[in-house]
Structure 1
Amino acid sequence: MMAIEHEQLERSGLTRYVPPKGDFEGFRDEDHYREKLKEWGLSSAKEAKREFLFKERNYQRVVKIKGFETYGKSEEFNTLVIEFQDGNLSCIHPAFLKEMQASSFGKESMLQVEEKDFSTAEQSAVTQGKEDTPEPKPVAKSESKKTKATKPKKEKEPKIELPAEKVHFTASVKQFALTYNPFNEENDEVVVLENVQIIQEPPIELGLAWCSHSKTLKKFELAPGDMLEFDGKVAKKKLAKGKDVEEEFLVDAAVLYKVNNPSKIVKKDKQQ
């Protein structure tokens, strides 16, 4: 027994902990925990996995997931908060923890690939921005005397300031759709909402939004046209198309907002 405790103490000294910055989000219940594991690609079994392996080159330790942090401009990304057997908390990317569960752990990590993808995406965005606003070319003297027709500038739609805290929504069900989840490499079922409004002063009209078709929502046996009220957080995250899905599960318009963790759901009479 003392040898095991000594071994754990040695491993604790070898591990570099990255503690959470402050408060982090926990799991509301067993269904929420299971849904998040599936979203991160860590477990899709009926009995949600409780213990995971944290691996280094010369040792491995058992950890549990205590909660998660959100980050990104729209808070659409997650960092896991894991607890070691000695009680220490540390943060880790879900893709990296997933990779640690594989026997082939040690190759280039999914996390590194993701970071490259994010970096490439950011660079593309910068490049695209530069392409959208090209530097003016020098105009020949003969051309400068010509009268040029100026096109009217297209008015930009006002930018919506999304609230960071949980708010109250009204919406109606537009349809069900499938979106590709790169973590578990499968299509996830989602609910597409329309006439989405944040109830505050003044109210905010979002139009279309989407959320995961969780077990909590499935209990309401939703159908297109159903009107809902609920609480939740909203983030700017475009709904990605499903992979190799039938046309009925595709959306014919861009859905730019995602509602996270809807709760206190009330189903009203269906729209006429």
Structure 2
Amino acid sequence: MGDIEATKTNEMVYYPPQDEYFTFADEEEYADKGRGWGLFGKAPKKQFWYKGAASQRLVTIKGYLEYNVLNILVIEFEDGNLTCIHPSYLKEMQSGSFGKELPAGDTDTAEAEPSGLPIDEAATGSADQEPTAKPAKKPKEPKAPKEPKAKKEKLELPVDKVKFSAKIKEFATKANPFSDTDDEVILLEEVVVLGEAPLTLGDAWCGYSNTLKGLGLEVGDALEFDGKVVDKKFNKEIIYKVNNPSKIVKQ
């Protein structure tokens, strides 16, 4: 992901995303992500307050960026401007006391504050802070640049329920932040959407429901089933999920 550059409009500093960002596959993923970021409880919220010292504006979450282990939100103002913001910072803005501790007469500075630090500043603090003087260090020899990893090209997924063929690769678990126990899942391989023009997905995953447990499935089983595929990651390698598999037939 590239650097985030600031733009300034009407005394508001924005940090719009410079690269492609992730959007939500469906309402279920939006709800899961939002709860994981601590932005709402059981009922998902669609709008949030972005607060300055002298004003507050409504925003919606358009998607998110991934930077190492961090998620950075991409939010949209009602005038269409986009900016990046840390989830915790947006959460703080929903507090009734947010901004009241700012000194009087400092409204211009507060209004020009960015809606979240640029990603390169996230670990070091504000770009306006003066650096602390440090003893000179012996310069290190330059390292050879790393080869960038090739990004997986995202496929255009069918919207409706379709028929699949796949093999069971592994039984695994996925962390559930809202439960003391992990969710049981099935990792699939050689996943293909069947039809006149078959679509090869490669690896995918699905929940290991009680219905599926009753089928006595084993690693290596070849299956055909109906379901709906969505763009929802299990990890960096497995980026597609099959929802509600049904009419399962062992081959």
Q: TM-score, normalised by structure 2?
A: 0.48
Q: TM-score, normalised by structure 1?
A: 0.46
Higher helix share: 1
